[in-house]
């Protein structure tokens, strides 16, 4: 690192327009993909091109080496560019969608996957990734749910921190690592009606207790950058909110890093009705704390005049430039502007066997087994399998964000992964009956008829259904979170053969699967499983690996139940019957609960839990020293009562029975993945600390209130075994 003085001297030499360019991120690509255009006049402003601070989505070692060399020549102060891109769940080796990674409940696997992604991206010249997305999501209609790790603040926090550690390594600038940008601050997952870019109403109770923790975890893990969300919160766009970005983020949360706007979000302030014009938008965002403007150029076009009129001070501009240059310095770019970019290492690392092996393991660990009756799984070599469905022989195993840098052609299909088994394949129907209507292709009815014939000849049907990857993406919100109708028709048709049916779902969100579950002997949720998807799924189907994934979000019975999440507040009239109950919380004609709760997932064996036991039932806070010290422990004895080895994810939930503010019916506070052989038992113990019992009271701050608490331990969020303890003292 060259340090503060070097950067201060550099800033001292820069003109205001050069500073404004440094604060601007340009699209990296010319429309025709040419290199020279980036540096000479793509924006019809050579000065901006030559002095821009960063490029979006421009990578590949050869191109980066050339672009960086030319840029340093052209830049007035020879300042290197930052190359930033969306490395969301892999770079070339694509891991399961982030929601699938959340379903692994395995932060160290997530960290490893992020380290692999960082290494592959770094050798292609990438310096910064726009990941992790730490948004809490409760509305499965929202298309970007696929990019989140789900509905739980604790699980999201562990995952966000793991992503940051994996990308950044032990120290920012470390070889084969990249800087991480946590997004979208804040409340993006709470957009009204699940409609992308919509408004958000968010009170401080929910903001501090539910939405901020995962961002805090990323910041505490050392995350270098942060991106404000597109949406408004309580009427103010995040991009221009002084309260959110200055008071809360830079104040309460002590974020010292660089803030980059989302794509064109600054000029969108005009469309939001928050800014009169682009100049006003630039002033509001810079004043709120944005350092880099992504893609649009309101900073570049307006900062000179805004400083002249005193609407913005030179210190504010210098503060932003200092943060950007410090990031470049921490990455070591002033000493070596090419960092890890290396065409030879690209060949060595991209999709190398070690990376593929990790992606395969992640694809398998992400799978969640929701049903397994009549010994449907694992499959046997002796069985004749009808492999049916639009995903059975498809390479569409990567979501939109994985396709930013990854390729479908690198994916392993399930059909090829099951080569050693006796399979007969039939497509069954098209993936999405509304799109790509092509006269040449066979109508669904014919494909279904072929599939029925294939199914009738088999011992067992493996039916691979799901959403088109475009259905869960940015601006990919849905009004019905069901499978397309043609796929449901295929399901009904093959079921009529009476053969056992194992259904696999590829999905980017929780889905309504009532009919699918009722018609299938076994049901597995696979998410978009990534490059090694076929192999990972085959590992589970064949029993080479046991399923161990758990739902990171609640699966509803009907779209109308959304948002549905396990850690809701109690109501004055809870439904205690599990059926429709007049004058109780819920909907007419439907069981008020989910189809599958948060945390749910089966294994190929069975586990039994002893009753919960506590080390103490009466605790006095003053007998204990710090918020991280265990006040008591809660434990169970877990036994594998089945016939094969398996991994159980034992979950601890706490409930504060009464507080100044009503507290959630339960909250995940710990989990452990335990591997047991048949007949084996072990004691699983969770420490319970003051920190786990604290919560934020608006106007007061972090508080711990005396009273009664319940500790639940079990296999998912609806587990029923608990013990109570009483706490004296508080703060």
Q: Which residues are catalytic?
A: 262
- Least distance between ligand BGC and beta carbon 86 (Å): 5
Report the residue number, 20 or 263, with the smaller CB distance to ligand BGC. Answer: 263
CB count in 10 Å sphere of residue 173: 22
CB of 130 to ligand BGC, least distance (A): 3
In the structure encoding, which two tokens stand for residue 655, read together? 């409930």
Site track 143-182 with ligand BGC (rule: CB under 6 A), x = hit: ----------------------------------------
| Choice between 25 and 497, CB closer to ligand BGC | 25
Q: Which is nearer to ligand BGC, 229 or 431 (CB)?
A: 229
Q: Residue 9 corresponds to which tokens in the numbers above?
A: 């001297």
Q: 62: burial class by Cβ within 10 Å (0-12, 13-18, 19+)?
A: middle
Q: Does 183 bind ligand BGC (CB under 6 A)?
A: yes
Sign of CA dihedral 564, 568, 569, 573: positive
* Total number of residues shown for the chain: 731
Q: Considering the complex, state which of residue 262 and residue 656 has its C-beta at the smaller distance from ligand BGC.
A: 262
Kindly give, in sequence order, each residue whose CB lies less than 8 Å from that of residue 454, ignoring residues fewer than 6 positions away: 386, 388, 424, 425, 426
Least Å from the CB of residue 590 to ligand BGC: 34
Instruction: Rule CB under 6 A: say whether 196 interacts with ligand BGC.
Output: no
- Classify 55 in phi/psi space as left (phi over 0), alpha (psi -120 to 50) or beta: beta
Structure tokens belonging to residue 555: 């699966």
Tokens of 386: 């009808």
Distance CA 581, CA 559 (A): 20
Between 146 and 602, CB nearer to ligand BGC: 146
Please select the residue that binds ligand BGC; options are 86, 268, 521, 705, rule is CB under 6 A.
86
Based on CB atoms, which residue is closest to ligand BGC, 168 or 261?
261
- SS3 state of residue 133: strand
**For residue 282, what are the contacts with CB-CB under 8 A and spacing of at least 6?**
266, 293, 298, 299, 301, 302, 303, 306, 312
**What percent helix, strand, coil does the chain show, rounded to 5?**
35, 20, 45
Q: Are 457 and 384 in contact (CB under 8 A)?
A: yes
CB 388 within 8 A of CB 516: no
CA 163 to chain CA mean position, Å: 10
CB nearer to ligand BGC: give 86 or 346: 86
Nearer to ligand BGC (CB atom), residue 262 or residue 539: 262
Tokens for 561?
Answer: 């139940």
- Residue 130 near ligand BGC by CB under 6 A: yes
Single residue of 18, 135, 262, 648 touching ligand BGC by CB under 6 A: 262
Give the total of residues touching ligand BGC (CB under 6 A).
6
Give residue for tokens 């109780």.
584
Shortest distance, position 132 Cβ to ligand BGC, whole Å:
11
CA distance 342 to 120: 10
Q: Tell which positions 368-427 bind ligand BGC, by CB under 6 A.
A: none
Closest residue to ligand BGC, based on beta-carbon distance? 130
Q: Establish if 532 lies at the interface with ligand BGC (CB under 6 A).
A: no
**From the list 112, 220, 474, 591, which residue makes contact with ligand BGC (rule: CB under 6 A)?**
474
Instruction: Return the number of the residue (95 or 230) whose C-beta is nearest ligand BGC.
Output: 230
Here's the x/- map for ligand BGC, 623-652, by CB under 6 A: it reads as ------------------------------
Q: In whole angstroms, how close is the CB of 199 to ligand BGC at the nearest point? A: 16
Site membership for ligand BGC, residue 460 (CB under 6 A)? no
Least separation, in Å, of the C-beta of 387 and ligand BGC? 36
* Nearest distance, CB of residue 653 and ligand BGC, angstroms: 31
Q: 559 by DSSP, 3-state: which?
A: helix
CB of residue 605 vs ligand BGC: minimum separation in angstroms? Answer: 40
Residue 2 makes CB contacts below 8 A (sequence gap 6+) with 329, 334, 335
**Least distance to ligand BGC, CB of residue 401, Å:** 8
Q: What does each C-alpha distance from 706 to 166, 620, 633, 659 come to in angstroms?
A: 38, 9, 18, 8
Spatial neighbors of 322 by CB under 8 A, at least 6 apart, are 7, 8, 11
606 binds ligand BGC (CB under 6 A): no
Q: Which of 67, 123, 233, 263 binds ligand BGC (CB under 6 A)?
A: 263
29 in contact with ligand BGC (CB under 6 A): no
Pairing of strands 368-372, 522-525: antiparallel
Q: Which residues bind ligand BGC (CB under 6 A)?
A: 86, 130, 183, 262-263, 474
């Amino acid at each position: 690192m060259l340090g503060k003085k070097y950067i201060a001297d550099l800033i001292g030499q820069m003109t205001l327009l050069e500073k404004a360019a440094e604060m601007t991120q340009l699209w990296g690509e010319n429309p025709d993909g040419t290199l020279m255009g980036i540096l000479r006049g793509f924006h019809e402003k050579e000065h901006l091109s030559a002095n821009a601070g960063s490029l979006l989505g421009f990578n590949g070692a050869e191109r980066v080496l050339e672009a960086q060399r030319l840029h340093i020549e052209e830049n007035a102060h020879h300042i290197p560019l930052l190359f930033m891109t969306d490395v969301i769940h892999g770079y070339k080796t694509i891991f399961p969608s982030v929601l699938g990674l959340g379903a692994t409940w395995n932060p160290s696997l997530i960290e490893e996957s992020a380290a692999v992604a960082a290494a592959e991206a770094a050798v292609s010249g990438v310096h910064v990734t726009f990941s992790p997305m730490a948004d809490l999501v409760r509305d499965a209609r929202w298309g970007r749910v696929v990019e989140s790790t789900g509905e739980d603040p604790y699980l999201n926090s562990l995952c966000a921190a793991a992503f940051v550690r994996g990308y950044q390594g032990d120290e920012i600038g470390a070889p084969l690592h990249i800087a991480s940008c946590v997004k979208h601050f804040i409340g993006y997952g709470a957009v009204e009606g699940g409609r992308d870019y919509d408004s958000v109403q968010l009170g401080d109770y929910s903001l501090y207790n539910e939405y901020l923790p995962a961002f805090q975890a990323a910041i505490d893990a050392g995350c270098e950058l942060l991106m404000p969300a597109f949406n408004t919160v309580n009427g103010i766009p995040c991009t221009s909110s002084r309260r959110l970005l200055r008071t809360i983020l830079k104040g309460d949360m002590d974020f010292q890093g660089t803030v980059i706007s989302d794509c064109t979000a600054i000029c969108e302030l005009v469309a939001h009705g928050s800014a009169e014009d682009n100049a006003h938008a630039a002033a509001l965002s810079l004043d709120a704390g944005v350092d880099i403007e992504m893609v649009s150029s309101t900073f570049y076009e307006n900062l000179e005049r805004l400083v002249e009129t005193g609407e913005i001070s030179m210190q504010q501009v210098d503060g932003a430039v200092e943060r950007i240059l410090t990031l470049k310095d921490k990455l070591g770019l002033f000493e070596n502007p090419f960092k890890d970019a290396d065409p030879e290492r690209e060949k060595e690392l991209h999709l190398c066997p070690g990376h593929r092996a990790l992606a395969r393991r992640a694809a398998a660990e992400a799978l969640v087994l929701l049903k397994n009756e009549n010994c449907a799984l694992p499959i046997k070599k002796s069985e004749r399998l009808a492999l049916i469905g639009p995903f059975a022989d498809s390479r569409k195993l990567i979501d939109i964000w994985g396709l930013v840098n990854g390729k479908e052609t690198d994916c392993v299909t399930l059909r090829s992964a099951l080569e050693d088994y006796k399979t007969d394949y039939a497509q069954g129907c098209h993936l999405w009956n509304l799109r790509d209507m092509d006269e040449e292709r066979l109508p669904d009815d014919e494909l279904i008829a072929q599939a029925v014939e294939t199914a009738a000849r088999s011992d067992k049907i493996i039916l691979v259904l799901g959403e088109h990857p475009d259905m869960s993406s940015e601006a990919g919100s849905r009004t019905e979170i069901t499978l397309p109708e043609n796929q449901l028709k295929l399901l009904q048709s093959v079921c009529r053969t009476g053969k056992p049916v194992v259904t696999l779902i590829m999905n980017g969100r929780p889905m309504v699967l009532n009919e699918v579950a009722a018609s299938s002997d076994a049901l597995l949720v696979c998410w978009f499983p990534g490059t090694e998807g076929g192999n990972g799924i085959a590992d589970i189907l064949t029993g080479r690996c046991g399923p161990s994934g758990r739902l990171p979000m609640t699966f509803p019975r009907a779209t109308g139940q959304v948002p549905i999440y396990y850690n809701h507040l109690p109501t004055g009239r809870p439904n205690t019957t599990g059926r429709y109950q007049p004058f109780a919380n819920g909907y007419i004609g439907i069981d008020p609960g989910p189809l599958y709760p948060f945390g749910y997932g089966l294994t190929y064996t069975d586990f039994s839990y002893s009753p919960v036991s506590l080390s103490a039932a009466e605790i006095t806070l003053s007998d204990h020293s710090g918020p991280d010290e265990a006040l008591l422990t809660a434990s169970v004895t877990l036994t594998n009562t089945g016939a094969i080895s398996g991994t159980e994810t034992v979950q601890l939930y706490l409930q504060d029975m009464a507080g100044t503010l009503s507290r959630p019916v339960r909250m995940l506070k710990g989990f452990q993945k335990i591997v047991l052989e048949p007949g084996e038992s072990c004691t699983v113990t969770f420490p319970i600390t003051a920190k786990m019992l604290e919560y934020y009271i608006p106007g007061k701050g972090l508080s711990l209130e005396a009273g009664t608490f319940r500790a639940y331990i079990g296999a998912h969020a609806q587990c029923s075994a608990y013990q109570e303890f009483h706490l004296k003292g508080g703060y």
